[in-house]
Amino acid sequence: MIKIGIIGFGNWGPKLVRNFTENNSCVVKKVADQNKDRLAMLQKIHPAIEGVMLTDEIIKDPGIDAVVIASPLHTHYELAHKALERGKHILIEKPMTSTSEQAMRLIEFAGKKQKVLMVDHTLLYTGAVQKIKELVDNGEIGKLNYFDASRINLGSFQPDVNVLWDLASHDLSILNFLYREKPVGVNATGISHTGNRVENIAYLTLKYQSGFIAHFNCSWSSPVKIRLILIGGDKKMIVFNDLEPTEKIKVHDTGYTYKLNEGKYNIHVDYHKGDIHIPKINLREALNSMTADFMSAIINKTTPVSDFNSGLEVTRILEASQTSIKNNGKEVILQ
């Protein structure tokens, strides 16, 4: 039985506690949070779990096998490194770390310690994203041409990270899961309306050597909530609306063909619009699948769907986007 310690009982922590508690391969032994009211809530809901205020009470506990970090981003690296030193397996809430250098250090250290290091990109475990992966991999969509994501809402302003770090990390993890080519260039623009230089609206574009392009629209200042991804292939196109209760994916048999005629600007385009297919998807709670994947990685030594490479790549792109924003959208070349 794997014994779990969870650091952070804020917005995401209670969901993690519930899902790990439901997993028969583990038991949640301790939860740490500096807010006494949150710990009081923990005791009311899960009286068998010990609530503590100091993270060291989890990290230094020899009876804990794995540490789940659901605390603010700036704490991720230090907490994970200290827990790895004590021989714990690690699950980190997204984004993995504040810099790609920190991510690489953790990866190297986890390898030396022979411990699992996993990032909680929960959306990769949704039935919708798993189905899209299946459609892409079996060639039904054809060669991918673009990925366009909008993740906007009103609220959830963060004091220490901008809207891309908060929201785009979800869609970047999905993109990297579906499309294995790595981007070669990053352009990002954004604006802060709160006077603290933390952008609450931002736009990110990724460029690829093959001609594929990806675009992300993120905002904490929208009058409506939108969670929409458009994926275009040369055979079919996908609309993924995560706010739909059941019909989250629609596959459009829609596209175009073109022919270049004589003359520089002479192009002939034929369009076709066919049926719309709504595939059936697994509605199992994604966080339940994610926690099971973490347990399997520890017990069976399997490679998680959301492994450290996924965490590193998302952090690398977000880091480059931050540089581009602070340089008025100048392109950052990725090595």
Structural domains of the chain, with CATH: 2-115 (3.40.50.720), 124-285+316-333 (3.30.360.10)
| CA 153 – CA 168 distance, rounded (Å) | 13
**Which pLDDT score, from 0 to 100, does residue 159 have?**
86
Looking up tokens 């009081």 gives 40
What sign has the CA pseudo-torsion 42, 44, 48, 53?
Answer: positive
**Which pLDDT score, from 0 to 100, does residue 81 have?**
98
In sequence order, the 6+-apart residues with CB closer than 8 A to the CB of 77 are: 97, 98, 102, 105, 106
Take residue 229 and report the two structure tokens written for it. Answer: 């991804």
**Which pLDDT score, from 0 to 100, does residue 263 have?**
64
Under a CB-based contact definition with an 8 Å cutoff, are residues 20 and 45 in contact? Answer: no
Average of per-residue pLDDT values in the chain: 95
**Regions of the chain short of the pLDDT cut 50:** none
Whether the bond into 14 is cis, omega within 30 of 0: no
How far, rounded to the nearest angstrom, does the alpha carbon of residue 130 sit from its chain's CA centroid? 14
How far, rounded to the nearest angstrom, does the alpha carbon of residue 246 sit from its chain's CA centroid? 22
Looking up tokens 């700036």 gives 74
Query: In the chain, what percentage of residues exceed pLDDT 70?
Result: 99
The H-or-E segment that residue 231 falls in is strand 221-233
pTM of the model: 0.95
pLDDT in tens, 294-324: 999 999 999 999 999 999 999 999 999 999 9
**Which pLDDT score, from 0 to 100, does residue 70 have?**
97
State the burial class of residue 21 (Cβ atoms within 10 Å of its Cβ: 0-12, 13-18, 19+): middle
